[in-house]
Structures are given as structure tokens and as C-alpha cells.
């Protein structure tokens, strides 16, 4: 079954960034992780697979006032890629948000939503990449079902927060990827804590209960904890993601250490100079 899935030409490793629920900062993690991999020397692409609420353009400072005329095919006879991705901060990026205005919404038949994402992903000229990160929408519906059935994915990164509801929903999504035989590379805990602006010590903003959910008790590696920081929202407002705007900040370093751990799971990722993963969990 795996051998029949699509392999994207020129892409060494396809990684999905997923979450069980919305509001955990998954797109923030996907964008900054992609930038961290790029700044270390990797050749990186980023694909926004959220058809209904594409936020990658916002994170990268891309705005469109009018929707592009035309339509995106669900199927087409040709198989050669023909769409040039946007080059932004050294990343090769594609999103439905690049062809629709900020105020517009797309409402396709849910039965073809997954096929629209799959076809667009296949039609982009990615060239040679070490990593292509796919920012999935939250949950376990479409386009996840279609992509897992038709695309060869090398691993999935689960984004969660310390809250029980987030951990519970993340646990529910694990079965989806396991049934598709996609390796679960580990968990990234976002909004993990807050560094006190006065004493610098970490403050646990969310209550951590003793109840264990699947992401806690199944032995999945914790790839890193990302603290809460107003610098992230400032970067979004300015159109410059954190890792790009303040590459030497402690928060950016957290993403760079996670990038090191992710890259270390694969034998060949070009000539990247990955930072040490030690001390990734503050």
C-alpha cells in the first residue's frame, strides 16, 4: 500500500505538522520550524493544507486584496508540476491563501476538499528540497484522509499544549496516522510556559493534571517545549515570523533545537549545520 502512494519529485522528506484541535499554535510552529530548518542550511518548502482557513500567508506577511480569477483543479490530465511557489524568507511556499483575498472564503463540496489539496500539492514545482512541511488543519477529517491515502509522508509532528483537552484531542488523532502507517516523530508542546519578565523563571500558565493521555503514556518523544511570548504575535503583525525577525532570541533557539532533533531523525539532509539539541527543554 505504501509503495503505491505518490512521491513528490525532488522532495527528500515530507513531514506533516498536525494537531487534534485548533488554537494550539500549530501554524506558528510549522512556519517557525520551517524557518529554523532553512536557517540551518536546509532546503525547505512549506505547504498550507488548510483549505478553509489558510493562515500561512498571514504568518509570512503576504496579503491579497482581490481573489485571483480562475479556479484550482480537483483533477487534471497532466502530471508535470506547473505552479511556481512563492519564495519567502528562503522558503518555497504554497497556500490557497495566495490566490484568494483576505476577506474571501472558499466553500467547496467537502467530498472534493481533500482532492483539491492533493492536486495543488502535486502541481507545485518544489524542485530539490530536504524537507517539505505540510501544515495540516486541525482534526482528523479532510484533507488528512485523502493525503494519508494518496501521498507518501515520512513522518508527522504532533503539536499540543499542556491542557487536558488539547492532549486528549491530540491522542485521538494518533490512531489516524498509525492506521496509515505514517511514523509519529514526536510531540511539540507549544505555549508550554511563560518566562517571568521580572525574575526570568518559567511560570506554568496552564494547569498540568496528573491524568495521562495517549501522547504522554505511549512513549512518544517530546521534541521540545515552546514558551509563550508576545514576540510571536508582534512578528505576525509585522509579517516577519519570530525565527526570521529575532533569530538569536531564546524563543527562536527553542525552534532551532526542535529543528535539530527533527533533522537528526533522517540520514541525509544536505549540508545543513544543525544546532545542538541539548537543552531544548527549558
Per-residue pLDDT tens over the stretch 141-176: 889 999 999 999 999 999 988 876 677 777 778 888
What CA–CA distance (Å, rounded) separates 138 from 23? Answer: 9
**Cα separation of 16 and 173, whole Å?**
13
Radius of gyration of the chain, Cα coordinates, nearest whole angstrom: 18
DSSP 209: -
Summarize pLDDT for 105-131 with one digit per residue, the tens.
Answer: 666 777 788 988 999 999 999 999 999
Q: What is the DSSP string of 195-231?
A: E-TTT--EE--S---S---HHHHS---EEEE--B-HH
Other beta carbons less than 10 A from residue 270's beta carbon: 15
Is the separation of the CB atoms in 14 and 154 below 8 Å? yes
pLDDT score of 42 more than 70: yes
DSSP code, position 245: H
Cα dihedral across residues 137, 63, 235, 255: positive or negative: positive
18 vs 65 pLDDT, higher one: 18
The CATH number of 9-263 is: 3.40.50.300
Q: What is the Cα–Cα distance from 195 to 191, expressed in whole angstroms?
A: 11
* pLDDT > 70? residue 14: yes
First-to-last C-alpha distance (Å) of the chain: 41
Q: Give the model's pLDDT for residue 71.
A: 54
pLDDT value of position 252 = 86
Q: Which residues have a Cβ under 8 Å from the Cβ of 202 and sit 6 or more positions away?
A: 193, 194, 195, 196, 227, 282
The answer to whether 137 and 21 have CB atoms below 8 angstroms apart is no
Inter-residue contact 202 to 282 (CB < 8 Å): yes
Provide the pairing of β-strand 194-195 with 202-203.
Answer: antiparallel
Model pTM score: 0.85
Domain ranges within the chain, ordered by starting residue: 9-263
Asked whether the beta carbons of 228 and 221 are under 8 A apart, the reply is no
Name the residue with cell 512578528.
235
Amino acid at each position: 500500500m505504501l509503495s503505491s502512494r505518490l512521491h513528490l519529485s525532488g522532495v527528500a522528506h515530507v513531514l506533516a505538522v498536525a494537531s487534534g484541535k485548533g488554537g494550539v499554535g500549530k501554524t506558528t510552529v510549522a512556519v517557525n520550524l520551517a524557518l529554523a530548518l532553512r536557517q540551518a542550511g536546509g532546503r525547505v518548502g512549506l505547504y498550507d493544507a488548510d483549505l478553509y482557513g489558510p493562515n500561512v500567508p498571514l504568518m509570512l506577511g503576504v496579503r491579497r486584496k482581490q481573489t485571483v480569477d480562475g479556479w484550482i483543479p480537483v483533477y487534471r490530465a497532466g502530471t508535470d508540476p506547473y505552479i511556481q511557489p512563492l519564495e519567502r524568507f528562503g522558503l518555497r511556499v504554497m497556500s490557497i491563501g495566495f490566490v484568494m483575498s483576505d476577506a474571501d472564503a472558499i466553500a467547496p463540496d467537502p467530498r472534493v476538499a481533500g482532492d483539491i489539496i492533493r492536486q495543488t500539492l502535486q502541481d507545485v514545482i518544489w524542485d530539490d528540497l530536504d524537507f517539505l512541511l505540510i501544515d495540516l488543519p486541525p482534526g482528523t477529517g479532510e484533507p488528512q484522509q485523502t493525503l494519508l491515502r494518496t501521498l507518501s509522508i515520512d513522518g508527522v509532528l504532533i503539536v499540543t499544549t499542556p491542557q487536558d483537552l488539547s492532549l486528549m484531542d491530540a491522542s485521538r488523532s494518533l490512531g489516524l496516522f498509525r492506521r496509515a502507517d505514517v511514523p509519529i516523530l514526536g510531540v511539540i508542546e507549544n505555549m508550554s510556559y511563560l518566562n517571568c519578565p521580572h525574575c526570568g523563571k518559567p511560570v506554568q500558565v496552564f494547569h498540568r493534571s496528573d491524568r495521562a493521555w495517549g501522547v504522554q503514556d505511549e512513549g512518544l518523544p517530546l521534541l521540545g517545549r515552546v514558551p509563550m511570548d508576545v514576540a510571536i504575535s508582534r512578528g505576525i503583525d509585522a509579517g516577519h515570523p519570530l525565527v526570521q525577525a529575532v533569530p538569536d532570541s531564546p524563543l527562536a533557539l527553542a525552534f532551532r533545537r526542535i529543528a535539530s532533533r527533527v533533522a537528526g531523525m533522517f540520514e541525509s539532509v544536505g549540508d545543513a549545520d544543525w544546532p545542538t539539541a541539548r537543552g531544548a527543554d527549558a
